[in-house]
Amino acid sequence: MRKLFFTIAAGILVLYGLSVKGMLPAAFTQALLQSSFAKPPTDTVIEGNERVTYEVSGSSKQAVSRAPMGRGTPEAYKKYAIAATYTNPQGLVYESYDAGWTADKLKVLDSYLQQFPKGAEYERLAAVRVTPESSDWAGLFKYRTVSQSNGMHVENGSVIYLFNAHTIQNPLDYGGTLAHEYGHLFTNYWLAEKEGKHTDDPATGWAKLRGFTSSMPVRWSGSGLGSSHAWTPAEIMADDYMQMAAPPAFRARLNRTGTSGYDFTYLDSVENQALPPIETLPAVAAYWKKLSGVTISSKSAMPASSLTGISAYDKPVSPKYPYFTERVLRVSFTNLGSGMEYAVRMGDENAMAYNGGHTDLSNTRSGVTSIEYGIKSVNTSNRTYVKDWIPSGKGYVQILAYNPATGQMTYSQLYPYDFSSPYHPVAVK
């Protein structure tokens, strides 16, 4: 299952002709900020809610549903009438429950799925359902495993659900979600077939390669830890697959907003960025190839950039209006080579812990070693500008790097900072 991962709209519009820095009352400015941002949903799911799984042990046939309660449940599509269907040449059925999703759109969706690296697991997928069910989740994967004398297997009949079809009308905007949900099929199938293990087993070969440390709150089976979608191994695996296997159409650029207004469909939407970027760990792709015989990625490792410093100062919003200034942060980082693109992400303390909170991502810059973060865009015709959002207290800074030539993205570690003093941000040790 993939959670909607929003990038908060960056800042408020300020009228040049009506306000200069410091003129608006603080309470009014704060009210505008609060009305301009919609926080991502708080992660309150229980362990296992990343998917709908029916675990069947031996002949007991005791089915246990782990479907999330409320909105976004996998059977909710049944309240809608089928609007269109498409069956591809291999027999995979696509069903639309939204009038805007025609058979032609379903065919385009299938053309993307056919670009994913696939193996024997593909035969286990029976349907892809596109539903207008409003959900805090972007998609969901439903499957069934059986444990028999000859080992563990994923049975035929797996289904991928893509939610919010009433809002998402462009097949490309489902790109990352479709790759993520297919990643659940790929990883569950091959772990069951080759290692006889579930994704939350800490003894999998993948777990040994992914860069976990003993202090990380990974939701392994029997860990006793509470819910955390971001730290659920199945979700991390599926995001790995999405990053490595996404076809070129999903790799067009680093910070690409979908035509439906969503940012979560592209490479910068990896949920757990406290772990090393998968593109820095080619041994993981080699591991999946050894299990499946399928080459997910043959790209070389791409390093991550690192933060080298932050300074704060006032800057004129526009040369035409030098007396209107705004605080900006110059974020400096290591350069990974020619042609690379970079962006800066900031988040508050809650966002750092994957509990919602505010985050913002700067515009992308190419071939630089620093980015001025604070003014996202300026419209001189109507004398307005949009601010990058800056934490007011404790938060984090992160550097994202993108290689247009290979379509690879990496991200730095999360650097904790205290922004309580606006012009003197302090690194938190």
For residues 162-183, give the mean pLDDT. 91
90 and 218 share one domain: yes
198 and 157 share one domain: yes
314 and 280 share one domain: no
Q: How many residues does the chain have?
A: 429
Domain-located, residue 329: yes
Domain-located, residue 381: yes
267 and 314 share one domain: no
Picking from 292, 310, 328, the residue at the C-terminal end of a domain is: 292
Separation in Å, CA 190 to CA 18, 183, 238, 275, 314: 61, 11, 13, 23, 54
87 and 133 share one domain: yes
According to the model, what pLDDT value does residue 74 have? 58
Picking from 252, 271, 292, the residue at the C-terminal end of a domain is: 292
According to the model, what pLDDT value does residue 16 have? 29
For residues 102-112, give the mean pLDDT. 97
Picking from 224, 258, 292, the residue at the C-terminal end of a domain is: 292
Instruction: For the chain, count helices (H), then strands (E).
Output: 7, 21
Rounded to whole angstroms, the Cα distance separating 259 from 278 reads: 27
Alpha carbon of residue 106 to chain centroid: 23
Domain-located, residue 203: yes
The number of folded domains in the chain is 2
Domain-located, residue 45: no
For residues 406-415, give the mean pLDDT. 90
Domain-located, residue 46: no
Supply the DSSP symbol for 170. S
Domain-located, residue 110: yes
pTM of the full structure = 0.79
Q: How far apart are the first and last CA of the chain?
A: 34
State what percent of residues in the chain have pLDDT above 70: 77
Domain-located, residue 331: yes
Q: How confident is the model at residue 3 (pLDDT cuts 50, 70, 90)?
A: low
Alpha carbon of residue 402 to chain centroid: 15
- Expressed as residue numbers, the domain containing 366 is 7-40+302-427
Residue matched to tokens 């505010």: 358
Separation in Å, CA 296 to CA 154, 187, 278, 304, 410: 20, 11, 12, 20, 17
Rounded to whole angstroms, the Cα distance separating 72 from 91 reads: 26
Cβ atoms 234, 188 nearer than 8 A: yes
Cβ atoms 141, 185 nearer than 8 A: yes
pLDDT in tens, 287-315: 999 999 999 999 999 999 999 999 999 99
Highest mean pLDDT of the ranges 28-42, 342-356, 390-404 = 390-404
189 and 322 share one domain: no
255 and 133 share one domain: yes
* Neighbour count for residue 424 (Cβ, 10 Å): 11
State what percent of residues in the chain have pLDDT above 90: 56
Cβ atoms 114, 249 nearer than 8 A: no
250 and 392 share one domain: no
- Compute the radius of gyration of the chain from its Cα atoms: 23
Average pLDDT, the chain: 80
89 and 233 share one domain: yes
For residue 131, give the nearest of 173, 164, 105 by alpha carbon: 164
Domain-located, residue 81: yes
260 and 314 share one domain: no
Alpha carbon of residue 272 to chain centroid: 8
Rounded to whole angstroms, the Cα distance separating 274 from 231 reads: 10
Q: How confident is the model at residue 353 (pLDDT cuts 50, 70, 90)?
A: low
For the chain, the 3-state helix, strand and coil shares in percent, each to the nearest 5, are: 25, 25, 50
Domain with residue 314: its CATH number is 2.60.40.10
Rounded to whole angstroms, the Cα distance separating 284 from 288 reads: 6
Residue matched to tokens 């043959």: 298
Q: Which residues pair with 217 in a beta bridge?
A: none
89 and 143 share one domain: yes
Concatenating the DSSP letter of every residue in 153-168 gives: EEPS-EEEEE--TTT-
For residue 294, give the nearest of 211, 194, 225 by alpha carbon: 194
Judged by average pLDDT, the poorest of 11-25, 97-111, 353-367 is: 11-25
pLDDT in tens, 219-268: 999 999 988 888 999 999 999 999 898 887 777 654 454 444 444 345 66
pLDDT in tens, 36-91: 222 222 222 222 323 334 322 222 222 222 233 233 455 666 788 999 999 999 99
Question: CB neighbours of 290 closer than 8 A, spacing ≥ 6?
Answer: none
Phi-psi region of 96 (alpha: psi -120 to 50; beta: other; left: phi over 0): beta
Q: Amino acid identity, residue 71?
A: R
Q: How confident is the model at residue 14 (pLDDT cuts 50, 70, 90)?
A: very low
Separation in Å, CA 172 to CA 83, 176, 251, 351: 20, 8, 11, 27
Pairing between strand 365-366 and 341-348?
antiparallel
